[in-house]
Structure 1
Amino acid sequence: MPKRGYHHGNLRQALVDSALTLIEEKGPTGFTLSEAAKQAGVTPAAVYRHFAGREDLIAEAARQGYEIFVELMEYAYQTGQPSALAAFEATGRAYLAFARRHPGHYIAMFESGISVNHSPELAAVSSRAWSVLEKAAEQLSQTLPPDRRPPPSMFSAHIWALSHGVVELFARNSPGRQSPYPPEDLLESAIGVYLRGLGLIPPDK
C-alpha cells in the first residue's frame, strides 16, 4: 500500500481521513490507531508524530467537522434572510443536511464522547456553530413581548435537541426506526409545533 500521507505531504490529514472512514464503518470506539495508520499507509509509530492517541485523532476529526458545520449553518442563516422565520428554519434543515452528507464528522462531533473542551480550537469552533443558531433564535423571538420571550440559549437548545432527535432516530438509518414521513417533514412539523406554542407563528386554521 502506498504511503499516501507522505506522498501528498500531509500525513496528519491522511490520518484524519482514515479515521473518518473507520468511524463511519466501526464507530468512534471500534478502531485502533494501528488501523488508522494502516489505512493511511504508514506505520503506527508515525501516528504519534501528530496525535497523542486515538482521542486526539477523533477530536481533530470533530474540529474539522465543526468547521464544515459552521459554514453550512452560516450559509443557511444568510440565505434565509430577510425573513427571521425562514432563516431560523433554514438552520434546522442545515443540521439535518450536515448529518447526511458528513456522517463521519457528525459521529466524531456528537457521538464519540469527546468533549468540545478537548482543545481551545475545538471549543472555539463549536461555540461558533452554537452562536449561529442562537442568533437566529434571538432574531425570531424579538417579535414576542419581553415577558414572554425565552432566553435565546434555551430557544436554540430546544431546536438543536429537536434536530438531533430527528437525525438520530430517522435520518441515519437507526435499526428498527422507521417513519412514514421524510425526516425533513418531521423536523419542519416539530419546529412548527414549537413555534406555534410560543406564539411566533399563527395556529393552523
Structure 2
Amino acid sequence: MTGRGDWFGDKEERRSYHHGRLKDALVEAARRLVAERGLAGFTLADAAKLVGVTAAAPYRHFSDRNALVEEMARRGFEQFGERLHKAWDLGQPNPRTALARMGEAYLDFARQEPGLYSAMFSNIQTLSAPAPGTAATKALDVLRTAAQVTIEASVPGPADGRELAFRLWAYAHGVATLTLAGHLDPAFEGGDPGHVLRQGSAALIDAAIKRAQAISR
C-alpha cells in the first residue's frame, strides 16, 4: 500500500496546505479512501489524518462530510464529461462508432476513478446540490447530443436523443457498477464488461433508430 508520504509529500509540503492547497489535498485523500473502503468507509477526520492536518482543519473548506462528497462529485462529473466529449470527437469517423467509443470511455472512467465514481452516484441529494448537479447535466448533454446525432444519421429530419441517452446512461452505469463489484469480469464466460456494454448499447441504439424510422414514415 502506498504510504501517506508518497501521496501527500513531506512535512514541509504538508505545511503548505495551510496556505491554499488543503482543499485539493482533502479531495485527493477522500478519493483514495473511498476507492479503498467504499463511500461509507471514510470520515472528514480520516481524510485529515491522511493529509497530516488536525481533525478541525477540513472545516475551513467543508461544512461536513457531505460537502466533501459533493465536491468530489462535481470534480468527477467534470472529468467524466471531458472524457465523454473527447471520446465523441465530433462523431468521427461516424456517429455509431463514436457513440460506442463513449461507452468505452464511460467504463474506463469508472474503473480508473472508483472513488470519484462512487461519489458521483452516491445519492440524489448529492446530484440535487447546484455544483455537482450542473456538472452532471453537462455530462448528460454530451451523451444526449451524441445520441441525437446518431439517430439523425439514420432517419430524415430532427430527432430527440434524450430517451436514448438516458437508456444508454442507465445501461452503462449498471455494467460499470457490476464491474466494480466484481460481478462482471473477462475471466467469466460471457462476462467481459466491455463486450456486455458494446452488445447491449448496440441493441438500445438499434431499437431507438427503428422507433424513429417508424415515426418518420
Query: Any stretches of 5+ residues in structure 2 without a counterpart?
Result: 6-10, 211-217
2:135 is aligned with 1:136: no
CA distance in 2, matches of 1:162, 1:133: 13
Query: Any stretches of 5+ residues in structure 1 without a counterpart?
Result: 201-205
The structure that is helix-richer by fraction is 2
Q: Which residue of 1 aligns with 2:205?
A: 195
Q: Which residue of 2 aligns with 1:203?
A: none
- CA shift, 1:79, in A, is 6.3
Q: Is the 8 A contact 2:164 2:205 kept in 1?
A: no
Q: Is the 8 A contact 2:144 2:161 kept in 1?
A: yes
Q: Which residue of 2 aligns with 1:41?
A: 52
1:22–1:128 distance in 2 versus 1, CA, 3 Å: same
Q: Which residue of 1 aligns with 2:85?
A: 74
SS at match of 1:116: helix
CA distance in 1, matches of 2:71, 2:14: 16
1:79–1:6 distance in 2 versus 1, CA, 3 Å: farther
- CA shift, 1:33, in A, is 1.2
1:103 pairs with 86, 96, 114, which one? 114
- CA shift, 1:35, in A, is 1.0
CA distance in 2, matches of 1:103, 1:111: 12
Q: Is the 8 A contact 1:137 1:156 kept in 2?
A: yes
1:26–1:121 distance in 2 versus 1, CA, 3 Å: same
TM-score by length of 2: 0.81
Letter in 2 for 1:167: A
CA distance in 1, matches of 2:48, 2:101: 38
User: What RMSD in Å do the two structures reach over aligned CA positions?
Assistant: 2.3
1:164 pairs with 161, 173, 192, which one? 173
Identical pairs, percent: 34
Q: Which residue of 2 aligns with 1:62?
A: 73
Q: Which residue of 2 aligns with 1:115?
A: 126
1:46–1:3 distance in 2 versus 1, CA, 3 Å: farther
- CA shift, 1:27, in A, is 1.6
TM-score by length of 1: 0.85
